[in-house]
Amino acid sequence: MSKSLKALIFDVDGTLAETEHSCHRVSFNLAFAEAGLDWHWDENIYGPMLAITNGKARIRQYATEVKQMAFDSPAALKQFVNEVHAIKTRHSVRMLADGLISLRPGVARLLTEARQQGLRLALATTTTKVNALALLEATLPPGGVNWFEVMATGEMFENRKPAPDVYRYVMEQLGLTAGQCLAFEDSWPGLTSARRANLRTVVTVAHYTRNDDLSGATLLLNHLGEPDKPFTVLAGNAHGKTYFDVALARRLVDAA
């Protein structure tokens, strides 16, 4: 039994669910159409844009640098970004609340087992809080949202991933050190954020993160796996396991 592992900290987009692929990109495009913009982010455009964490920042960068739109003032630019992003969020929340997006393999099982074994749970995400809540409410049993003791979301931080602020905040709120936690991520910005906060990090590669540099991962997998759906180990030591469970989480933390 590990004496040190106390909490699991999860990223949301790409890690809990394939939301970037199946929800966010689609929602941005619905918002652009609704706002009367002739923009369309196909996968080739959207993939590289994920290096800019947070949807508002993505809209702002595209408007000013790609479309070279002129605004009368910084306030006018901010209003434009906020309006388009509000439409986008309405669409993403509806898609998530309608249950169109499932959790990735092994996520629900690991959350349930972690709770049964007394581990604490937290979220560290760059997405807007209503998106995270809608996903959890649609995919977990009633009250599942309350499984997460700390929910650190995009609106709360000026310095977003790959900055470590979100993970440092979560650990501070939990009253735990990095050695007592294990992070779960899917992307280079997320992994870098967690690593800069000194966290050991399990990375499950997602649709848009296949080409990311994920070499800092403690364990790199295609997904968390299930007893009847083994994961593939892409890098690191899975200690003979075929799916990710609390025992493996403890091994990874103890092995350090």
Active site residues: 11, 13
Q: Which among 252, 195, 197, 194 is positioned nearest to 219, based on CA atoms?
A: 252
- Report the residue from 27, 89, 121, 186 that binds Mg ion according to the rule CB under 5 A: 186
Residue range at the interface with ligand XBP (CB under 6 A); choices 37-45, 67-75, 121-129, 220-228: 121-129
Separation of alpha carbons 72 and 89, rounded Å: 25
Q: Which among 70, 24, 82, 81 is positioned nearest to 50, based on CA atoms?
A: 24
The tally of CA atoms less than 13 A away on the side-chain side of residue 141 is 5
CB within 8 A of 5, min separation 6: which ones?
119, 180, 181, 182, 249, 250, 253, 254
Cβ contact 176:7 at 8 Å: yes
In the list ligand XBP, Mg ion, none, the entry touching 131 (Cβ below 5 to 8 angstroms by class) is ligand XBP
24 lies in the binding site for ligand XBP (CB under 6 A): yes
Site string for ligand XBP, 158-177 (x = CB under 6 A): ---x----------------
- Report the residue from 8, 10, 11, 127 that binds Mg ion according to the rule CB under 5 A: 11
- Report the residue from 5, 8, 9, 12 that binds ligand XBP according to the rule CB under 6 A: 12
Residues that bind ligand XBP (CB under 6 A): 11-14, 20, 24, 53-55, 88, 125-128, 131, 154, 161, 190
